[in-house]
Amino acid sequence: MSHAVFPMGMETQSQIKRKLSQPEAIAHIRKVLGAFDSMKITKLADELCEQFGFYNPLGERQRAGCLKALRELEQAGSITLPQAPRKIKKEVQGALRNLYQNHKQYHVK
């Protein structure tokens, strides 16, 4: 059986997940998330790629692999990722719409 050999710095998806699943990595991720209230998940992934050395042979961050690992950690209950701004915006718009409709019902003359 042959095994894939990756150049230095190239991580497979399972290797990224394995590294980020370590207790000290999870603690670090939580610390970073706690320090930045509104950090976007892509910014978090970029930071983690730099800190853990997740780069492909071209020197590009392995953002997609890191994002996937972060979402899997969230699904497992290990971390809580920030909500995407568009989701928050839709929730706020819905809440405002409901308030407006309720206001109209009670203030009709």
Euclidean distance between CA atoms 66 and 105, whole angstroms: 48
pLDDT tens sequence across 48-61: 999 999 999 999 99
**pTM for the complete prediction?**
0.67
What residue segments make up the domains of the chain, in order of their start?
Answer: 13-82
**pLDDT at residue 47, as a whole number:** 94
For the chain, percent helix, then strand, then coil, each to nearest 5? Answer: 60, 0, 35
CA atoms within 13 A on the CB side of 44: 29
pLDDT tier, 105 (very low <50, low <70, confident <90, very high otherwise) = low
**pLDDT at residue 97, as a whole number:** 75
**pLDDT at residue 96, as a whole number:** 74
**Closest by alpha carbon to 67, among 22, 94, 29, 24?**
29
Give SS3 for 55.
Answer: strand
Tell me the one-letter amino acid at 49.
C
Would the pLDDT of 66 be above 80? Answer: yes
